[in-house]
Structure 1
Amino acid sequence: MHIDRYLFTIFLLLESLSLKANPKYEVRAAWVTAVYGLDWPQTKANTPAAIRRQQAELLAILDKLKEANFNTVLFQTRTRGDVLYKSNIEPFNSILTGKTGKSPGYDPLKFAVQECHKRGMECHAWIVAIPLGNRRHVARLGRKSVVVQNRKICVPYKREWFLNPGNPKTKKYLMRLITEIVSQYDIDGVHFDYLRYPEKASHFPDRKEYRLYGKGKTIDQWRRDNLTKIVRYIYRGVKRLKPWVKVSTCPVGKFRDTSRYSSRGFNAFYTVYQDAQGWLKEGIQDQIYPMMYFRGNNFYPFALDWQEHSYGRQIIPGLGIYFLSSSEGNWTRDEVERQINFVRTNGMAGQGHYRVKYLMENIQGLYDQLADKYYSTQALQPPMPWLDSIPPTTPEDLSLKRKEGYTILQWARSEDNDKQNKPYYIIYASDHYPVDTSRAENIIAQRVEGTTYTYAPLRPWDNRDYFAVSAIDRYGNESKAVQLKLP
């Protein structure tokens, strides 16, 4: 057994040395945490000037993510029974203004979506699902709290309130919230956190529901099935509204014991009743962001287990970069780098970074290392062929004008089989003809909405002689590129 462990460790070290060119398709995500203002906001939006400062704080985060070629923002949209958008169901989070339910004078989710899209990044609405907060927090929410409005689906447990997954109406309540978000905002995904029972909650107060709905199952299996029913109901509901919107969850990082290593009694399947690999097998998740906030052999075999049971869906391990802080742990940066190398070597879809504060603070130089090495080129979103596999038509009539150091490209619009959406465009450039569109370093812009693009390099030596343009849909299907050869 000890020999096997040493061999596995050596295998990992060898893999970490085999660096490849940065991939063209990769999710590069960061969690932007609003609860307690951990990442954002720091300013209360109580005056017009304060609103602008609050917005500027978010723009600074998005700009820095864009500069390091991140392409996905997981924007916290619901925390503990309160929200960061204009809802008819739950109140505004107090972090925005200092007062629960008070409007900040703008819609933070709408603002975040628009600004992410301007920068070519996806915005996913990050939803804390089951916990509702402690008694004091619920009391501050007042009459708009779900505990007041819909008491039957809520239960108290260990001085906190929770939605009750065992009540069949819980999934309908959550879907009401998701319907508001998906219908009213141009989001790219809904991302669920805490879609689970409290840890080791053997005395969770759901015996009444178990007697009514258990149907001979063990209580453990019944609880797992309850969460699966919620996931299934919401996944299907989202796909009916907007099939291109990604549905994802961040489950506990270790699914259960693997053939390689023990989870040491803390895992998704037994500890919090998440059958997340079952969700992948059933096809009711597009992505899974397992919370892999571990290192060494507590990370690698369990990350590999997710990939081996992905059933063709996207596995994006969440990396615990907060442990690089001396106040949180004693990690060194090379631990995170090895994890990124391992994720890439084993064909996973990308990485998520928890949380954005540590990127903004460049903890142990991680941000610089990502920007200069691992994310030095842009990356496109991996496609989702289980939803749609037909690319848009190839752009045509590509033309070019040069003017005062600018290069202005124009082309004819592409068409997509999904008439609900217009294609976006990807711009490639190179000093060689034809432009190799398989190489990530040739991408100079993505998610371009119109049929005109102006290339304005900051440095003369960044200018390029040759250009190509392809079309891409919201499922990640990319057309062939039209090439432009200069005379």
Structure 2
Amino acid sequence: MFCWFYSFQLHAQIAPKREFRGVWIATVSNIDWPSQQGLSPVTQMEEFRYILDEHQKNGINALVVQVRPTTDALYRSSRELWSHWLSGKQGEAPNPPYDPLAFQIEEAHKRGMEFHAWFNPYRAIHDTISANIAPNHITKTRPEWFVTYAGKKYFKPGLPEVREYIVGIILDVVQRYDVDAIHFDDYFYPYPTRDTFPDDDDFAQYGAGFVNKDDWRRHNVDEVIRVLSDSIKAVKPHVKFGISPFGIWRNKKEDPRGSDTNGLTNYGQLYADIRGWLEKGWIDYNVPQLYFNIGYQVADYAKLLDWWSKNNFGKHLYIGQGTYRVNTDARVKEWYNPLETGNQLRLNRQTPNVQGSVFFSSKSVMSNPLGVQDTLRKDFYKYPALVPAMPWLDDVAPLAPTELKATSTLDGIHLAWKAPAKAPDGEMARYYVVYRTPKGTDIDVENPAHILRIHHGGPAYLDQSAVSGQRYTYLVTAVDRLHNESRPSETVKAKRK
């Protein structure tokens, strides 16, 4: 009995029923998509479908897609220019015309994946060569809003009109597209170089009430996060807002609340008080980029994982996995260890409050370094997982499906049920979970091994994997947009012909 219980507990730890399984798809510098500039829309779409099909096999249930890498748009916009990462020329629309973002959201939702629209708020241009910048690009029409630093142009974070502009750009997407979340990465104030960020004049004009510039800089970023958070929820309460910061908030030597690390920090160098945003409830999820190995002296993956798990303030914590470093970073032998990624994922699942991972980036996962992709398919993500629910956004579950029937045919076992009516909050079922067990095994809806299919479709499903002559038990649940699951339907039994 003890052995059975231990085995079940181990299984549950290895494969949770709810887990955020995300991947970043970067468009800047054509890292992940499109593979190069100037491809036809047909080829761009084919590439994106292929990426999604592969990640569906990997068990991924959420995409984080970069839609505004450098004050440009990989979507149809009247406010900013088409991105040169698409066409090769800034401001040039796809030909023949299509809207990449609308297409991407549709393809993600078809596969049951959340779509998180990833924005870079302050980065304006990678290339400061004037000839490569369109004459109507905002850096030329509003040059007073920008500063050049370390060979790139950035918005001036201290200008109130800049903050208003950035929030407006993002809200335009929230209003016009069926995104599931808005996502920022670690680029707030730029990573420091030997040069000082040139904002003395802005501080003199707007820094009244702040004794030092560092506090003023943090206030500037705070305001974007606070206003954007409130604005997103006012427009579409179901849209999540998440941040993926650099892995260290503050070092313990600088603040007793900080982590046992000795590196660059969000708070001190990037002016992003991620812990404060979580504490104030401004963001729904946090994805610290723990692109370090277990045991790294300056920033140990295990120590940072533990620290973030204790500083999430009840919001969701997913971990940014540095897959791009696997088998590529000759300076660190641990990234040549085929067990490192698996050890990190196991540690995530053993740590309280950690609810998933996001992999950087798509190309790195798909290249299968040291078998990372194989490990996801055969082990960690072998069973499907529901995205964790966010009860502070919605805690009302759908009503249960009814009138479940099973009919055995030569093609398989055909399941049909009656879709539930609207829940008390007015929401309909967004998708269904079909559970199945063989004869003699009761269905446990908390066991992901009993999930046959997370079904994004109508109230019917054909089980073609049922074995001829075998008898099965089925039940179905309904799930809403924010992943609240209904009570189970009644069970039915069927034997495949």
Same fold, TM-score > 0.5, yes or no: yes
Of residues 186, 199, 207 in structure 1, which corresponds to 2:200? 207
Specify the code of the residue in structure 2 equivalent to 1:209: D
Of residues 460, 466, 488 in structure 2, which corresponds to 1:452? 460
Of residues 451, 461, 482 in structure 2, which corresponds to 1:443? 451
3-state DSSP of counterpart to 2:233 = helix
Partner of 1:391 in structure 2? 397
2:115/2:180 contact within 8 Å kept: yes
Q: 1:411: Cα distance to partner?
A: 1.9
RMSD, matched Cα: 2.4
**Superposition pairs of residues 170-209 of structure 1, within 5 angstroms:** 170-200=162-192, 203-209=196-202
2:81/2:91 contact within 8 Å kept: yes
Partner of 1:142 in structure 2? 134
Q: Which moved more, 1:234-243 or 1:207-216?
A: 207-216
2:286/2:316 contact within 8 Å kept: yes
Partner of 2:5 in structure 1? none
Specify the code of the residue in structure 1 equivalent to 2:82: F
Unaligned ranges ≥5, structure 2: 1-8
Q: 1:373: Cα distance to partner?
A: 0.5
What is the alpha-carbon distance in structure 2 between the residues aligned to residue 70 and residue 450 of structure 1? 22
Q: 1:468: Cα distance to partner?
A: 1.4
Partner of 2:472 in structure 1? 465
Q: 1:420: Cα distance to partner?
A: 6.2
2:396/2:425 contact within 8 Å kept: no
3-state DSSP of counterpart to 1:378 = coil
3-state DSSP of counterpart to 1:156 = strand
Partner of 1:66 in structure 2? 56
Of residues 408, 411, 432 in structure 2, which corresponds to 1:405? 411
TM-score (norm 1): 0.90
How many residues align structurally? 467
3-state DSSP of counterpart to 2:45 = helix
Partner of 1:157 in structure 2? 149
Partner of 1:322 in structure 2? 324
What is the alpha-carbon distance in structure 2 between the residues aligned to residue 416 and residue 311 of structure 1? 29
Deviations 1:374-400 (A, max 9, x none): 110001011101112111111111122
What is the alpha-carbon distance in structure 1 between the residues aligned to residue 139 and residue 15 of structure 2? 48
Partner of 1:423 in structure 2? 430
What is the alpha-carbon distance in structure 2 between the residues aligned to residue 113 and residue 319 of structure 1? 24
Deviations 1:396-420 (A, max 9, x none): 1112223222332222222234436
Matched, 1:371 2:377: yes
Q: Measured at CA, do residues 140 and 44 of structure 1 come closer, stay the same or move farther in structure 2, by a change above 3 Å? A: closer
Partner of 1:41 in structure 2? 34
Q: Measured at CA, do residues 18 and 477 of structure 1 come closer, stay the same or move farther in structure 2, by a change above 3 Å? A: closer
TM-score (norm 2): 0.88
What is the alpha-carbon distance in structure 2 between the residues aligned to residue 186 and residue 462 of structure 1? 44
Q: Measured at CA, do residues 420 and 92 of structure 1 come closer, stay the same or move farther in structure 2, by a change above 3 Å? A: farther
3-state DSSP of counterpart to 1:175 = helix
Of residues 54, 77, 87 in structure 2, which corresponds to 1:87? 77
2:402/2:490 contact within 8 Å kept: no
Q: 1:99: Cα distance to partner?
A: 2.1
Deviations 1:252-309 (A, max 9, x none): 1111114696432411111211100110000011111111100123211112111101
Unaligned ranges ≥5, structure 1: 1-16
Of residues 12, 16, 24 in structure 1, which corresponds to 2:17? 24
Q: 1:314: Cα distance to partner?
A: 0.8
**Superposition pairs of residues 101-116 of structure 1, within 5 angstroms:** 101-104=91-94, 105-116=97-108
Q: 1:195: Cα distance to partner?
A: 4.3
Q: Which moved more, 1:60-69 or 1:212-221?
A: 212-221
Partner of 1:380 in structure 2? 386
Partner of 2:307 in structure 1? 305
Specify the code of the residue in structure 2 equivalent to 1:292: L
Matched, 1:220 2:240: no
Specify the code of the residue in structure 2 equivalent to 1:96: L
Of residues 324, 335, 340 in structure 2, which corresponds to 1:335? 340
